[in-house]
């Protein structure tokens, strides 16, 4: 009886192992297929895959006569501000989910309104085959589209409250260890190697000298650092650079017209249900 039972147990274990092996192979097959579909598409291009308009600043920043970083309300007040997360996310949604066809005639506002809403309803991290991408007629790329249809895109991509309520904001109040930032740098490199431009949250908490979203689209590595080419929604004219220092295991963001420059803590958003 014990021999019979042992044989039965062995058969059950063998069957279970076969099922697990089959699942692993199936999942690997899916991952391989998805990666292949990513690697065959064009990389994110700053000149074509970004918006022509900027997320405007509410405040003007500068150093006073005592060398202190100070701010004052911008005059006149901007009409499109607090949209950095919306702009960064939408750029990735168009990159992942839309295809532009300049050979088709320019459509009317109602058509574009419907198409924009369809694009920004998709997950920014979802890989979409070309056959399933939403076709935007009349324009060659997002830069051209946003230059011609600026008001429509601003009104349809999302309101400022979507930047305030981005569900990953809870993470910025937790400590950022050097180990976490080291892992994050590796994760961002892995994203870029498979053609996925990540949206990252730049923050210094609780100071909040910076609380901003940008898109990374390329990286150059050396033994000392990683230089991430960056699309900043506040500056659509030229890319900037987020630098990771390998020895210090910290990220550095350059000085600009809203941040004095220096260390930032970084984590990726719009990646999964947690962020």
Instruction: Examine the pLDDT at 3 and tell me if it is beyond 50.
Output: no
- Burial of 103-119, coded b for 16+ CB within 10 Å and e otherwise, reads eeeebeeeebbebbeeb
Both structure tokens of 49: 């895959």
pLDDT tens-place string over residues 251-262: 999 999 999 999
pLDDT score, position 70: 72
Give the per-residue pLDDT at 191: 95
In tens, the pLDDT along 191-248 reads 999 999 999 999 999 888 899 999 999 999 999 999 999 999 999 999 999 999 999 9
Q: What pLDDT was estimated at residue 66?
A: 65
Position 129 scores a pLDDT of 87
pTM above 0.85, yes or no: no
Give CA–CA dist 80/93, Å, rounded: 20
Q: How many angstroms separate the CA atoms of 45 and 47, rounded?
A: 5
Q: Across-strand partners of 26?
A: none
Higher pLDDT, 254 or 39: 254
State CA 66 to chain mean position distance: 37
pLDDT-derived band at 56 (thresholds 50, 70, 90) equals very high
28: confidence class by pLDDT, cuts 50, 70, 90 = very low
pLDDT value for 128: 84
Domain ranges of the chain: 1-40, 59-163, 168-269
Q: What per-residue confidence (pLDDT) applies to 40?
A: 53
């Amino acid at each position: 009886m014990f021999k019979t039972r042992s044989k039965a147990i062995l058969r059950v274990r063998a069957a279970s192992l076969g099922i697990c092996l089959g699942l692993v192979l199936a999942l690997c097959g899916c991952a391989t297929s998805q990666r292949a579909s990513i690697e065959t598409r064009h990389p994110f291009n700053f000149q074509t895959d970004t918006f022509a308009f900027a997320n405007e600043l509410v405040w003007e920043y500068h150093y006073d006569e005592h060398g202190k970083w100070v701010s004052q309300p911008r005059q006149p007040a901007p009409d499109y501000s607090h949209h950095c997360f919306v702009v960064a996310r939408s750029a990735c949604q168009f990159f992942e989910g839309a295809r532009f066809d300049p050979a088709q005639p320019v459509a009317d506002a109602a058509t574009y309104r419907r198409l924009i809403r369809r694009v920004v309803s998709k997950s920014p991290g979802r890989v979409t085959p070309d056959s399933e991408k939403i076709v935007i007629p009349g324009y060659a790329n997002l830069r051209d589209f946003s230059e011609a249809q600026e008001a429509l895109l601003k009104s349809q991509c999302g309101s400022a409250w979507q930047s305030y309520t981005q569900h990953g904001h809870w993470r910025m109040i937790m400590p950022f260890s050097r180990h976490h930032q080291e892992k994050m740098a590796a994760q961002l490199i892995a994203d870029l190697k498979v053609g996925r431009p990540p949206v990252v949250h730049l923050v210094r908490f609780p100071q909040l000298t910076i609380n901003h979203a940008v898109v990374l689209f390329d990286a150059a590595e050396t033994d000392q650092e990683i230089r991430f080419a960056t699309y900043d929604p506040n500056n659509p004219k030229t890319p900037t650079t987020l630098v990771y220092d390998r020895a210090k295991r910290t990220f550095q963001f350059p000085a600009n017209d809203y941040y004095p420059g220096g260390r930032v803590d970084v984590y990726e958003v719009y990646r999964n249900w947690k962020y």
